[in-house]
Amino acid sequence: MKNKAHDLATYTFSSGEQVLLDTNVWLYLFPAPSGKSSSFVTSYSSALKKMLTDGAYLALDALVLSEYLNCYCRIEWKALYKTKYKEFKDFRQSSDYASVGTGAALFARKILKLCTCHDHPFSSSDVAKVLTDFEAGTCDFNDGLFVETCRQNGWKFVTNDGDFTDGGIEVLTSNPKLLSACP
């Protein structure tokens, strides 16, 4: 079933409306220093301000925070340290990692203050379908779990990922590709 996408620029949040922000959105809001700048930063920053002002309920799944921390650190490794440390694990165990890990953890703590943590409903998710979609190449495994989480909890999903076209959930985005694919 197709997702229904809403444009964040014109979307009005209701008090208590429940949303789950995707990793890519958190990376726009709290970017790694070596990350690429994007025109989406302004739109997602404005949307976060609207969510908070309007009293939206920001949920946080451990998978999102885990992806955020890993992506943040890998962005820094690839940009600054990949020639020195061929493997990410070698970088993570080096003294050069300390400032990167500290920066990522600082932002993770800010994210945690903005959100309410929720346990992932893995045991009640349709993991067989998620695996079938993954196997067919139609969906990343974690993305399939995010769709399941939003469906089970009645949450809207805030993402910039243009691949979030299927799942039968409501998606809030600034991505024109996603908006046109899920009217």
Taking only the tens place, the pLDDT of each residue in 4-41 is 999 999 999 999 999 999 999 999 999 999 988 888 99
pLDDT in the model for residue 36: 83
b/e burial code for range 52-75 (CB count within 10 A of at least 16 → b): eeeebbbbbbebbbebbbebbbbb
Amino acid at residue number 121: P
Distance separating alpha carbons of residues 89 and 35, to the nearest angstrom: 20
Give the class (CATH, top level) of 4-64+115-181.
alpha beta
Residue 68 confidence (pLDDT) above 90: yes
Closest CA to 13 of 42, 39, 40, 46: 46
Rounded-to-integer distance, Cα 94 and Cα 97, Å: 6
Strands (E), 27-150: 57-61, 116-118
pTM score: 0.96
Average pLDDT over residues 134-139: 94
**What is residue 122's DSSP assignment?**
G
